Amino acid sequence: MTDVYLIVDAGGTFLKSALLKKDGTICDASSSSVPSFSVGTEEEVKGAFNQVIEKSRTWCIANQANIRGIGISIPGPFDYHKGVSWMTHKYRCLYGIDFKKLILQSVCINPRISIWFVHDVNAVLAGERWKGIAKHYQNVAVVTLGTGLGFTFCKNGVIQCTEMGSPLKSIFRIPYRDGILEDYTAKRGIIRLFEGKLGYSSGQLTVKDIGQMADEGNRMAICTFQEVGQILSEALQSILIEEGISCLLFGGQISRSFIYMKDTLKKLSLKVPTLEFLSPVTSIDNAAFWGTLSMKPKDY
């Protein structure tokens, strides 16, 4: 029997999962995605995790494999050491609940199985340090662009965390214009910036749509991402200097449009003396999987 690890990326919309071997290899045809019901009931969330684990067990039976442990990357607020969620914007139904016990109650699995939790942005950084382009750098920062704005960094190869395991510093609440930085650089902000250039609100557009329009040469879409790059460049400068960051990476679905932000973000290289490398992550899809596995308890 081959030992594998079930890694789950618990997002606001989907639970994305894959089975990985100890060396980080993602097992063929083991990936899946199911609705997370993050704004649903406790039973719905249990059901979603149950579905993920049952799919993985079916794969294991067919491929003579054994699930050695379960790693979950999930946003905060969350106590990553105790496995307790303190979120109110997502998974509100699980506020104050032991997530590990919930998973063990949801499905028929070995109650002694290892289950661990990692902040989703820390997982991306850890994955890039292990398997990606950040492996050659000691002071690395990662910005994730999606529904929200995430940030974490490591110094001398060590990810800097709070006592509960969250990133030590956040940037989403940095005051900016008439709101905060996240209002201009995450999903809702990018749509608002684009609609401002349009001169009206469509009510239908997604950031993916704007990205596709940019790919097709739409100047307003391209200018929107350039503006986001400029905003981030201005906001990140001081923290990158303060922490001596040499490698800056961008993850999250919106970073698929990094090419249009690149030129304005490159200005950071002129203003941050230590910054040597700036790029999207190696794999938007797999970095969090690799990182979550790399942060498993040493005994498993």
Place of tokens 């969250």: 166
Return the sign of the alpha-carbon dihedral for residues 245, 247, 251, 256. Answer: positive
The DSSP code sequence of 239-252 is HHHHHT--EEEEES
The pLDDT tens digits for 114-127 are 899 999 999 999 99
Contact 140, 245 (CB under 8 A): yes
Rounded to two decimals, what is the model's pTM? Answer: 0.94
The Cα 51–Cα 183 span in angstroms is: 34
Q: What is the mean pLDDT of residues 238-249?
A: 97
- pLDDT score at 200: 79
User: Which pLDDT value is given to residue 300?
Assistant: 57
Span 150-205, pLDDT tens digits: 999 999 999 999 999 999 999 999 999 989 999 999 999 999 999 999 887 877 88
Q: What letter would DSSP give residue 259?
A: G
How far is residue 211 from each of residues 201, 217, 251, 260, 262, measured CA to CA in Å?
Answer: 17, 10, 15, 9, 14
Mean predicted confidence (pLDDT) in 51-77: 94
CB-based contacts of 45, cutoff 8 Å, min separation 6: 36, 37, 38, 91, 93, 94, 102
> What structural domains and CATH numbers belong to the chain?
2-119 (3.30.420.40), 133-280 (3.30.420.40)
**Pairwise CA distance, residues 17 & 32, whole Å:** 5
